[in-house]
Structure 1
């Protein structure tokens, strides 16, 4: 059987991404790893990490096996050499070109999934390019409705809104947006994670989930009507639940995933208990995309000491999702 082909993007050249990528390549992961990056960037990262890697130009062929340390390459040149810890906006278009190649390659069937290292959003915006994140880039590239989810072995958290100022969150949560988001989460829990009858806990926007309207009306006016309509369609939805008690053990046993109203409402819980085992994935795309759950760690860049655990977890999850997809497609063809 040929190995699945995973496209790996190195993210911000001046961050820890290139170093994490070469450390991943040194593991015995049973996948054909294709780095979408600059050749010299990876060679410098490997030298800083003391990792021996063999870069081979990718010809699109499959592999029955891979030796640790081997890495196929789709070379996309930097505009200027990186200075670890100091992002350069001149490399912004290089970063976006790596994402475009990974997405387009998945769409064309060249890759089975894409795994992304962290990038520096500010550096891309400083180059005069409006950019709010991987999730939004891939959604626009594929014209797909997507949802951001972070998942550890113990907990899955999806987001109703992503990279927004807190003041903009209430107006961004509508009955239509919640309905769309929950349908995507429900469908992807079934398709990607094999949860036959997903149970989804939905957090309230306000403290104490609005406390009957005394602490805000969003739950009464927006959240509850959206949930009730979806329940009538057969979805198993809990809530809206107060966020401060939704993650206690007794509550966790009742659901398969949580929908949080905004980025920082639930992610601190997830990251505080499983930072090195949490994976960021984009639901709703026409391909599998996973990523680390952390940033560029500019203070560590160049030291060769950054922990690759989250990128390894992201690659392992991508591989597991590819296998589940292929098995379900095979079962459907029998």
Structure 2
């Protein structure tokens, strides 16, 4: 069923990766879009492609989700002009990895500010509005008139991936927040979903900040190539997210290995530990001889994986 033109969605992190593909998927279904990203050039490209797909762009704004006042101002503006969105997909985030023994506090703080506090800012700005708004009269797949709040966590939010301590802290916080919101917001006509992508071949893969590791090192390049060979495309991840949300799933994964990993933590703990130890060894092998000797200063802003 093709949605009516009155159906709207708000997407952050829309300039690249999963956020961009979600925006384009919604555009192809005729959903009116409110888009934001910290990268204005990428956002412009998404807007142009969404318009080619036939979508109405209600708003497109360069936005830093760590700026609470800016998020509140933007949400107030778009909801006043276009009403409360039927769907919210908060995808904006960054990834910074590194050995917890050497990763500097400013990098811990940065990844938590963007991924966790950025989500808090979006939730604080939107939740009072989406819970107070009347339900839409038109029907979509799923329960009639209920709004959707979709937050982006990660497989690292619950799986002990090596060198992910800071990133996992930020994404685990999002997962825990969503677990509470799914019950807090249900009486107000809002369904909450949390996405835990596994390996997704976004631009982030090629630019990710791995503290103290030389990305040009052959071992690191080989490990990156193995990751990309296992990863799904952002378009496929977006399709799985939309399908999972339409089916009413709270936790949406983008590949079967992530769902199995979550199950194995409880039901096959010895197997889970063996795999995590092997991955940790692989990370140490890849970084051996590939240290930069100085802290890395770059950080990638894109859809998380």
> Under TM normalisation by the shorter chain, which class is it?
0.3 to 0.5
Higher helix share: 2
